[in-house]
Each structure stands twice: as structure tokens, then as C-alpha cells.
Amino acid sequence: MKLGVVGAAGRGSSFARCVKEVDFFELHAVCDISEEGLKKAVEDCGAKEGYLSYDEMLEKSGIEAVVVGTPMHLHAEMAIKGLKKNIHVFSEVTAAISMDQCHELVAAANESKAFYMMGENYTFMKPNMMVRGLVDKGLLGETYYAEGEYLHNCTYLLEKTPWRRKWQYGMNGVTYCTHSLGPTLQWFPDDRVVSVSCVGTGHHHFDKEGKPFEQEDSTMMMCRLRSGGLIRIRQDFLSDRPHAMTNYTLQGTDGCYESARASTEEPRVWLRSRNEEPKEWENLFDLGKEHTPEVWKDEELLQQVGHGGGDLLQLFHFRDAISGQGTCDLGIHQAMDLTLAGLISQESIKQDGAWLKVPDSRDW
Ligand SMILES: NC(=O)c1ccc[n+]([C@@H]2O[C@H](COP(=O)([O-])OP(=O)(O)OC[C@H]3O[C@@H](n4cnc5c(N)ncnc54)[C@H](O)[C@@H]3O)[C@@H](O)[C@H]2O)c1
């Protein structure tokens, strides 16, 4: 299938390495508004065609699927254009930056013959998939509490990617929750976030002009699930500290999980069925092949690609979904489940943490 990548000189470039590993796709065209970046992307990716205009790429290249890797505020608009032409869309996170965009995107996905998937790559990381497997086998019992944290001082990226000043730190609340909520929500089968409350820690960091960022340093979003469970999300783009983008916790009636919090640590799990007394942790990776997801059994290649293998596995998932070989658990409604919670948190924080309902796009 002929594939195009837009934003090919930025995040899109990391897909080029991965696309080569997925026989199904031929990386046919790339697009970027940066002339210099586009030239390099064409060479690096070995693409047949390069475009400075997205509309022109959609019009002329004959691509049947597109990866949208542009800045956040362009995702929905570009996805909608692709869907309207019945071109399959794989979009970077988050799916959209406003409620209006969400409605338009869902309508376009519902009307299109093509398929929409949001690339939430953290859900494919090995520990996250292993924990999901344990949950699905019932080994943690009923899950009722989880935490996900994305602590990533990204202020060093402000000059290179000025759009972040507005769309990630230029508004208060959780603007980028999918890497934390994506994996944790999958640990609550058939569940969704029904309401959120969001608060922050105040403003202790300033931009180059000495102005505080509109976003508070750490924002905390409590997510109430349909099942009654809770997920706590912490996002921090601003505090000075070592990065920690994959902090997770899960509690169930028969087990619990704590992710590694630093490169010197290992993820650990306690399962009643294996360690009733004494209650001792086990290294998650010591659970062995029986609990290792099939796709992770040969990890040499996965360890070479970005985001702990997630960047490649998500493309396999996209391929399987559009070729009818598998179901997709990051389709339009799951993309909305992960995106809408963050958007509503931005309203909640304005109302001092008021609990606000998160709409269900399946009802639209
Ligand atoms: N999933 C992940 O792990 C992950 C990691 C990094 C970034 N991201 C997401 O990827 C997106 C891009 O981030 P980035 O850091 O690469 O940003 P970036 O600004 O470096 O890259 C975006 C690229 O898009 C190009 N672009 C901008 N407007 C365009 C347009 N109208 N048409 C064509 N090209 C256009 C830019 O020239 C740039 O090369 C963001 O939404 C970001 O949140 C996700």
C-alpha cells in the first residue's frame, strides 16, 4: 500500500525507519513545509515523491494511507482531509486540540470508507503490554486504581518547536495525557473515563521573557472510570528534574504493579497467585515466556526502534487493522477516550478542580 508521511522532517522521520520493516507499506511520498527538511527527508526515506503542500500530496501522489506527524494543532485538520478522500489515517497524539475538532474528526471518520488510528505508541512498550496481558488473564483480579506520569522537561524544545509554547505549555490543565492514560486505561477492560477533576501546583518556571508559563508546573488529573475505578495522571513539562515519562502504577484485588522509575530499576509485580505469603515483589521480566506477548518474543529489532519498540509495533497494528487481519484498539473512539479527558481537564482546572463529565464520542 502506498503510504505518505506529513511532517516528514520532524517526528514523521522516525516512521521512515519503521516503515521499511513493514512489508505491507511502500513509503511513496513525504511532505513537509520546510524546503531543506523535505529534501533531506526524501533522501533519508528513499521516498519517490516529495511535497511542500499536504493538499497537493493528497491530490497528486495516489497514496492510500497517510501518517500525520505534524504539530498537535494540525492533526485533526489533516486527518479529516485524508479521511474525506478515503485515505487511511495514522495520526500522532493527541487526536485534536478542541471539542469542535473532536466532533469534526469523529464525523469524518464515521463517514469515511477509510480507517483512522491514533498512534499511542506507549501502549506497545513491553512492560505495558505484559501488564495488559496479566490483567486480561485475570491475574490482578479486579483492577481499581492506576497512575500514569509524564515528567519530561521539554522547555529545551521551545526554540526548535515553537508550537509547543502554545499547545503544550500555553494553556493550563493536561494537554498531553495519552502516553500516561493510554496504557493505564487499557488495564481496565471495556472501561472509559466518565469524569475528570484537574488541579495544579502553581507557577514556578518562566519562559525566556520571564513570563510564567500558562500551564502550572505539575498538573494532576483524577479520572473517574465507568467501573468506579480511578486513574491519576500527572503531567509535568516544566520542572527541572531527570526525565521520567513512563511511570505507572496499577492496583487490583489480587495483585499490583510498579513500573521502573529510573534506568537503574526494574519493573516489579506482586501476584497473589504466585506470592500469597510472604508478599514479595517479582521482577516483571522474570515472569518468563508464558507472560511475554507474542510480538515481544523476538525483541532484537524492536529494541532498535524508538519508544521502546512502540514506534514499530503501532505500524504493525495499523497494517493489521486496515488489511482486516486484526482489530484495532486505538481507533477513532479510543482516540477520543484518550483525547477528550485531557481537553475536559483544561476546563476543570479553570473551575478549581470541579468534576466535569467527559462525553462519549460513541453517542455522537
Ligand atoms: N508519540 C511520541 O512518542 C511522540 C514523540 C515526539 C513528538 N510527538 C508528536 O509528534 C508531533 C510532531 O512533533 P515534533 O517534535 O516532530 O514537531 P516538529 O515541529 O519538529 O515537527 C513537525 C514537522 O512538521 C512540519 N510541518 C509543520 N507544519 C506543516 C504543514 N502545514 N505541512 C507539512 N509539514 C508541516 C514541520 O516543518 C516539522 O518538520 C507532535 O504532535 C508531537 O506531540 C509524539
For 43, residues 6+ apart whose C-beta sits below 8 A from its C-beta are none
Closest by CA to 233, choosing from 348, 101, 361, is: 348
**How far apart (Å, rounded) are the C-alpha atoms in residues 218 and 236?**
5
Tell me the domains of the chain and their CATH numbers.
Answer: 2-119 (3.40.50.720), 122-297+331-357 (3.30.360.10)
The answer to whether residue 131 scores a pLDDT higher than 80 is yes
Nearest CA to 181 out of 253, 255, 235, 144 is that of: 235
Pocket test for ligand 1, best of 38, 40, 53, 70 (most atoms within 8 A of CB): 70
Query: Residue 15: its pLDDT value, please?
Result: 82
Percent of the chain with pLDDT over 90: 84
Q: Nearest to residue 73, comparing CAs of 100, 53, 39?
A: 100
Measuring from each residue's beta carbon to the nearest atom of ligand 1, which residues come in under 6 Å? 6-7, 9-11, 31-34, 37, 54, 69-72, 74, 92-93, 121, 161, 307
How many whole angstroms from 128 Cα to the centroid of ligand 1?
A: 25
Find the 279 Cα to ligand 1 centroid distance in Å. Answer: 45
pLDDT of residue 299: 83
pLDDT at 317 exceeding the cut of 80: yes
Q: What is the pLDDT, as a whole number, of residue 42?
A: 94
Q: Which one of 5, 6, 11 would you pick to mutate in the ligand 1 pocket, going by the greatest count of ligand atoms within 8 A of its CB?
A: 11
Amino acid at 122: Y
pLDDT band at 20 (very low <50, low <70, confident <90, very high): confident
Q: DSSP secondary-structure letter at 343?
A: H
Total-model pTM: 0.96
User: How many angstroms separate the alpha carbon of residue 73 from the centre of ligand 1?
Assistant: 10
Stated as kind and residue range, the H or E segment containing 236 is: strand 230-236
Give residue 75 CA to ligand 1 midpoint distance, Å. 9
59 burial (CB, 10 Å; 0-12 / 13-18 / 19+) is exposed
Gap between the terminal Cα atoms of the chain: 31
Predicted pLDDT at 159:
87
Residues 6+ apart with CB under 8 A from 101: 76, 77
